[in-house]
A and B are shown apart, each in its own frame.
Chain A
Amino acid sequence: MNFSIEDYYADLIDGNVLLAYKGSITTDLINNVLDTIESKLQDFNEPSKVRKKVYNVLVESLQNLFHHIDDLPEDYDEEYEPRFGILVVTKEKNRYRISTGNFIKNEKIAYLKEKIDKINDSSRNDLKDMYKFILNHQKLSDKGGGGLGLVDIARKTGNKLKYVFIPFDDKYSFFNLDVFIDEVVVNKNS
């Protein structure tokens, strides 16, 4: 195996880390993470606008992760717990970074890549239309996901979604998504 999750994780936790986690992504974990980050944002005295944006985008990132993790088959690789995922929140100069990582079946990569590329190529107005179309026309999946998460993140941050699919073996890859929230929120109309 060429790809080491340990190395990849170590690379992510560089800089001013607010929170780093690797393991099972459960509802309890999500609740803990939200509480922790909310109080840290309070400590930083960020304006409520920035605090809310980071919190909102974090909720979507975590719930996307929660809904879309592909579990490695049991006994496949004992190293990874069920619902294995990675989450790192860092404060960089003038922005926050939320990185999430999870296993994905190789056959799903093309679809996801196309979706993210389309979002990244869309203007603010296109994203608004896309959001409204999905909101009004697509049913919620059994898992409760609505296919809106990434579009919402792109709209709220105004930044491109940075992603990479790291090959793991012939069936699975590891999907890493970096989301950036600027500390100085630029007026959307300008």
Chain B
Amino acid sequence: MEPLIIEGTPKTPTVRFDADKGVIEIKGRSIPENSVEFYKPLVDWLEEYKKNPQPKTTVNIQLEYFNTSSSKCILDVFKKLEAIHKARHDVEINWYYEEDDEDMLEAGEDYESIIRIPFKMIEIVE
């Protein structure tokens, strides 16, 4: 399966989805006015990956900012991952937040309480 690679912009994150390694990464800022358009290929890719995932999938989410429009799309991404996890494949979500960014930590905890996959909260100390 082809990897999905999208370079970041000031309003959209860098995306690296690698099916061979089982590594899913979203990093940077996600603040587009309409996020559905941006996230559709990510959700579609995961739908395909779900058919034949690696025994272990590692998910790294490292966002500096995200808006509420993106928050729903990110939940859609997590729901695809949850389906993979439910099918008895290992999925680990690493939620990175910058030192002192309580809002970002809390956002991760919100997702953790909705999605049935273990989250690891990782503080980035500069």
**How many angstroms between the C-alpha atoms of A27 and B12 in the bound complex?**
14
Does A140 lie within 8 Å of B36, measured CB to CB?
yes
* Contact residues, B70-116 vs A (CB, 8 A): 71-73, 75, 98, 100-103, 106, 110, 113-114
**How many angstroms between the C-alpha atoms of A149 and B102 in the bound complex?**
18
**How many angstroms between the C-alpha atoms of A31 and B32 in the bound complex?**
10
* Contact residues, A18-72 vs B (CB, 8 A): 27, 30-31, 34-35, 47-49, 52-53, 55-56, 59-60, 63, 66-67
**How many angstroms between the C-alpha atoms of A138 and B68 in the bound complex?**
12
Given known contacts A49-B101, A131-B110, A156-B103, is B33 in contact with A55 (CB within 8 Å)?
no
Does B33 lie within 8 Å of A144, measured CB to CB?
yes
Select A63's contact among B67, B73, B98, B102, beta carbons within 8 Å: B67
- A93 close to chain B: CB less than 8 A: no
Does B110 lie within 8 Å of A135, measured CB to CB?
yes
Select B34's contact among A49, A56, A136, A143, beta carbons within 8 Å: A143
**How many angstroms between the C-alpha atoms of A156 and B67 in the bound complex?**
12
Interface residue tally for chain A (C-beta within 8 Å):
33
CB of B54 to closest CB in A, whole Å: 27
CB of B92 to closest CB in A, whole Å: 22
Complex contacts, A34 vs chain B, CB 8 Å: 10, 31
Complex contacts, B10 vs chain A, CB 8 Å: 31, 34-35
Does A135 lie within 8 Å of B71, measured CB to CB?
yes
Given known contacts A48-B100, A135-B71, A188-B102, is B33 in contact with A27 (CB within 8 Å)?
yes
Does A136 lie within 8 Å of B114, measured CB to CB?
yes
Does B110 lie within 8 Å of A31, measured CB to CB?
no
Does B69 lie within 8 Å of A52, measured CB to CB?
no
Complex contacts, B114 vs chain A, CB 8 Å: 132, 135-136
- A148 close to chain B: CB less than 8 A: yes
Select A49's contact among B65, B67, B71, B100, beta carbons within 8 Å: B100
Residues of A within 8 A of B (CB): 27, 30-31, 34-35, 47-49, 52-53, 55-56, 59-60, 63, 66-67, 128, 131-132, 135-136, 138, 140, 143-146, 148-149, 152, 156, 188
List, sorted by A's number, 5 A–B pairs whose CB atoms are closer than 8 Å: A49-B102, A56-B65, A128-B106, A132-B110, A140-B36
